Amino acid sequence: PLYNVQRVDQQIKPRQPPARPPQIFPLLCLHCTIMASPPRSPGQPNRPCSEDGIPVVDLAVLVNGDARERSQAVRHLGRACQDWGFFMVTNHGVPEDLQSAMMDACKELFGLPPEQKAEFMDAGPMDPVRVGTGFNSAVDGARYWRDYVKMFAHPELHCPAKPDGLRGVAAEYAARTRGLLLELTAAISESLGLPAGRIAERLDLGSCFQILVGNHYPPCAAGPDDDDGAVGLPAHSDHGLLTLLFQNGVDGLQVKHDGRWLLAKPIPGSFFVIAGDQLEIVSNGRYKGVLHRALVDRAQARMSCVSLLGPCLDAVVKPVPELAVPPLGLEFRGVKYRDYMEHQQSNKLNEKGALDLVRVQRHILTDTLCSS
């Protein structure tokens, strides 16, 4: 039968209130947090990739490194975006206690009685709070083994009233991860040969859109004809600019690289960073939004927390003109981010099919030029 939230309620018990007072996370800017971090010792490795080849970006070097180190780090980040569309970021300044608190709060929400979540279960793709199963149950056409909560976090935080601690934790987590993603965006802009603030200016990131997502994938034995395991989410690219993800120690995220699926195993203390469709558009296709999917473990529940950064909802996203010069030309036409997001979220996930909405069709251009 279709997996649903009621089944989660049977498996996950709400946490008991903590015996000690709740933790308070001071509102510090990410740059200050990184500046206060101790420098790496000479013997500490600055790994450019993990053991399985996934690129690793050290944010402390991007922020604090000397000119030579920083130049190398920016080039490495550019190669990661171009060749993978996916990397891990370390020394990011987001406290582990805050990450744990965010995951615990989402877990507690999934364990609430159904009536306390009912008002959010019929929400549409553009509603600011949504609780549900699969991807979009109205159009899925498949049984994806997943429960989720989605909360618009910026420019304004929207959050369920229960559990009690969720709003405070979500506000601090959103602020910290937003700062991290904006730092990465500036470095990505530089890696394209642009000024650090060029992409932010182009996408009006001063009024950026941010969404927080908590995912719960219950254990599920694969069917007899399914070698990979049950699917929590099928192959897709994200509608935003950059996505930040961490998980509860149970692997299941796969990325497509060089035509094959690779299980992403995080190095301790890192976040996964996933390039989205808006980065592909604004970079005129130089950096690709990566295909990824989530598989379900046969024996253990998997949880992940996502922070997605996108342009201002009313920004018209199109390639930076400096990146659309001959012989490449223009790869994408402009689209309002709000319209793109609604289109992608309202339809069945189809890998990168949403980009066809804005992709320039070369044969149409050629026919037009010939006829003129």
Kindly give the pairing relationship between strand 129-133 and strand 86-90: unpaired
User: What is the per-residue pLDDT across 175-204, written as a single tens digit (0 to 9) for each?
Assistant: 999 999 999 999 999 999 999 999 999 999
Is the model's pLDDT at 368 over the cut of 60?
no
43-57, 198-212, 219-233, range with greatest mean pLDDT: 198-212
Identify whether the C-beta of residue 176 lies closer than 8 Å to the C-beta of residue 93: yes
**Angle at 294 (CA atoms; ends 153, 6), nearest 5 degrees:** 70
- Average pLDDT across the chain, whole number: 83
| Residue whose token pair is 């056409």 | 141
The encoded tokens of residue 266 equal 């995080």
| Residue whose token pair is 């200016």 | 201
Q: How far apart are CA 87 and CA 69, in angstroms?
A: 18
Which phi and psi angles does 27 have, rounded to 5°?
-80, 90
Kindly give the pairing relationship between strand 129-133 and strand 147-154: antiparallel
> For 346-372, what is the mean pLDDT?
66
Which phi and psi angles does 317 have, rounded to 5°?
-90, 125
Identify whether the C-beta of residue 238 lies closer than 8 Å to the C-beta of residue 277: yes
Please report which confidence band the pLDDT of residue 26 belongs to, taking 50, 70 and 90 as the band edges.
very low
| Residue whose token pair is 């099928």 | 234
Identify whether the C-beta of residue 110 lies closer than 8 Å to the C-beta of residue 118: no
| Residue whose token pair is 């998980």 | 247
The model carries a pTM of: 0.83
Please report which confidence band the pLDDT of residue 350 belongs to, taking 50, 70 and 90 as the band edges.
confident
| Amino acid 41: pLDDT | 39
> For 144-160, what is the mean pLDDT?
92
| Amino acid 9: pLDDT | 33
What single string gives the DSSP state of each residue in 164-215?
A: TTHHHHHHHHHHHHHHHHHHHHHHHHHHTTS-TTHHHHHHTGGG-EEEEEEE
Q: How far apart are CA 61 and CA 67, in angstroms?
A: 10
- Percent of the chain clearing pLDDT 90 (strictly above): 64
| Amino acid 40: pLDDT | 47
- Collapsed DSSP state (helix, strand, coil) of residue 261: strand
Non-local (6+) Cβ contacts of 187 within 8 A are 62, 73, 74, 77, 196
Which is the CATH superfamily of the domain at 98-184+200-357?
Answer: B-lactam Antibiotic, Isopenicillin N Synthase; Chain (2.60.120.330)
Q: 148 has which bridge partners?
A: 132, 215
Please report which confidence band the pLDDT of residue 86 belongs to, taking 50, 70 and 90 as the band edges.
very high
Identify whether the C-beta of residue 14 lies closer than 8 Å to the C-beta of residue 112: yes
The encoded tokens of residue 255 equal 């990325």
Please report which confidence band the pLDDT of residue 207 belongs to, taking 50, 70 and 90 as the band edges.
very high
- Collapsed DSSP state (helix, strand, coil) of residue 114: helix
Is the model's pLDDT at 251 over the cut of 80?
yes
Who has greater pLDDT, 350 or 65?
Answer: 65
Domain boundaries, the chain: 98-184+200-357
Q: How far apart are CA 47 and CA 90, in angstroms?
A: 10
Is the model's pLDDT at 148 over the cut of 80?
yes
Q: How far apart are CA 116 and CA 105, in angstroms?
A: 15
The DSSP call for residue 21 is P
| Amino acid 118: pLDDT | 86
Q: 125 has which bridge partners?
A: none
Please report which confidence band the pLDDT of residue 233 belongs to, taking 50, 70 and 90 as the band edges.
confident
CB atoms within 10 A of CB 340: 23
Q: How far apart are CA 47 and CA 185, in angstroms?
A: 21
| Amino acid 144: pLDDT | 60
| Amino acid 49: pLDDT | 67
| Amino acid 328: pLDDT | 79
CB atoms within 10 A of CB 284: 22
Cα distances (Å, whole numbers) of residue 124 to 4, 119, 198, 268: 17, 12, 33, 36
Q: 258, exposed or middle or buried, with CB in 10 Å at 0-12, 13-18, 19+?
A: exposed
> For 62-90, what is the mean pLDDT?
97
User: What is the per-residue pLDDT across 312-347, written as a single tens digit (0 to 9) for each?
Assistant: 999 999 999 999 988 879 999 999 999 999 998 887
User: What is the per-residue pLDDT across 96-107, written as a single tens digit (0 to 9) for each?
Assistant: 999 999 999 999
